[in-house]
Structure 1
């Protein structure tokens, strides 16, 4: 399962009881942070979610309400005792910005790996005390070869199973999409892979020694007594994982629809609740609640969570109807809102 904490759901400037944009993901004890607006650390402290285990920080764009909390957070992560490399992913220009912010926190006990505007999907594997980026693949490759779609023919040559083994070892896939905002901005899609079940029938049919079953389930290729064994010889069909999409700040461009398709949760900006504020949304390159809901229904997502509310909108709940008229399964985000996404059978 995947645990989520919406640390801040404000846009522009913080107001009482509403910090700026930030979302924290916790999967098997390792964390990914999306954006780091003012108040991020405060919400984390209030929830009791630790800092040391943040392995990846994803920045949508380099406007202040999404990034000014970063220097303090980097310092706190260092003070928590982290020594492993921390990865920061962001849009064009993120390397220069991080370099500038480092003048405030020049001494950190860990290195920072910066990935700027990735064009390919990133494959992540959970290892002891960190997350490891395995490889980059094109978005098309990952969409077609991930476990939800990947199938091995019944008669498969063992030497042709490298792709299957690669996917078996991948825990999380991160993809990005360029958005339409007043500065370079990217949306994020996270796919949490679910490993296939062990198949006793396949293991016995392929005459795999019992002593190798455990290692093969962990994705290892083995040569034993001169015979090659691979995970596909003991694993069943692929199972659907968990898909989370995060889109802010942008106009509702068509490319978003395919990007968020069939997401279990679609977290989207809803800067303006009033339908009458559409002209502001167009001018400032943001969205209304209704526009976000239209993307949700076109993308056939399971649930929509709205966030990034204008500071002029004191009670976002008052405008919820504008979204649920289009997409009924809509939730209005709140600071420190906790949600768990579970694997489906």
Structure 2
């Protein structure tokens, strides 16, 4: 099961009822935080989300409204007694900025491991049991979007295993995808496993123009979280100049990528009530929702 929590939905400036855009993804007792702007840990505390359990921080880019909460958050994690390493991953050029922010932290009782995504092509790597894919976006600085995918093992068929006289102590190995030998006969996983299962996929894209290659990374997502800096179609030219998206552009990506659900986030502080503009997205992609701080949803594997 994957639990997704939007811990902030604001862009540029934190507001009393809207913290800067960030997101927590929980799986198997561990947490991934996407972006960490000013006030992010306040939202985490408000949502009773254990800060010390954050294992990975994914940064979309290093504009201030996405990273300036890092020093305070890392100090809080250190004060919790954590000693396990923490990974921070960001686009090309982010390491220098992160190192500068770490200066004000002083001593931390855990290792901060930093990785930069240098390639312009999508990069896949495994972390805490999820496949995380990144893709470059189109913004004023290096910026990436992320998809997190939980690959589901096919169901194990014990009846088939019994018919083949496979000892129970080999079942776990076969379910894990490895072959075994029974009485000099090789048993392969496909002999006892069911059909491939559809993975759970969560995608997060913000601070970008709607470039074509976004569709590739978010395709078939169970949940697509996407920025909607402005809601009104009349703001399209202004939004384009600032390298952001309006609601209808995010909805078009959702529609064209066959996603199941769209949550809008990263709202301009000049838009106090984003819900007034939801119609511009729903006419294109009906299953669109306005993101609200601490909005959450659990995603369970289909049987």
TM-score bracket, normalised by the shorter chain, equals over 0.9
Aligned residue number for residue 287 of structure 1: 245
Aligned partner of 2:155 in structure 1 is 197
What TM-score do the two structures reach when normalised by structure 1?
Answer: 0.82
1:176 corresponds, among 134, 147, 150, to 134
Q: How many Å apart are 1:106 and its aligned residue? A: 2.6
| Partner Cα distance (1:82, 1:182) in 2 | 36
1:7-86 mapped onto 2 (5 Å cutoff)? 7-86=7-86
Tell me, what secondary structure is at the counterpart of 1:240?
A: coil
Give the whole-Å Cα distance in 1 for the aligned partners of 2:156 and 2:124. 27
CA distance in 2, matches of 1:27, 1:218: 19
Q: Out of 189-198 and 283-292, give the one that drifted further.
A: 189-198
1:239 partnered with 2:197: yes
Query: Aligned-pair distance for 1:234?
Result: 3.7
Q: Which moved more, 1:334-343 or 1:209-218?
A: 209-218
C-alpha distance in 2, partners of 1:45/1:219? 40
Number of the residue aligned with 1:343: 301
CA distance in 2, matches of 1:317, 1:226: 66
Task: Compute the RMSD of aligned alpha carbons.
Answer: 1.9
1:70, CA displacement in angstroms? 0.8
List gaps (5 residues or longer) in structure 2.
none
Give the count of matched residue pairs. 300
- Per the TM alignment, residue 4 of structure 1 is displaced from its structure 2 partner at its CA by 1.1
* 1:206 Cα deviation from its structure 2 partner: 4.3
Q: CA deviation at 1:213?
A: 1.7
Q: Does 1:101 align with 2:101?
A: yes
Moved over 4 A (4+): 218-233
Correspondence list, 1:272-311, <5 A: 272-311=230-269
Structure 1 distance, partners of 2:235, 2:212, is: 21
Q: In the TM superposition, what is the alpha-carbon distance from 1:231 to its structure 2 partner? A: 4.6
Residue 44 of structure 1 deviates from its aligned partner by: 1.1
Cα distance in 2, alignment partners of residues 64 and 229 from structure 1: 55
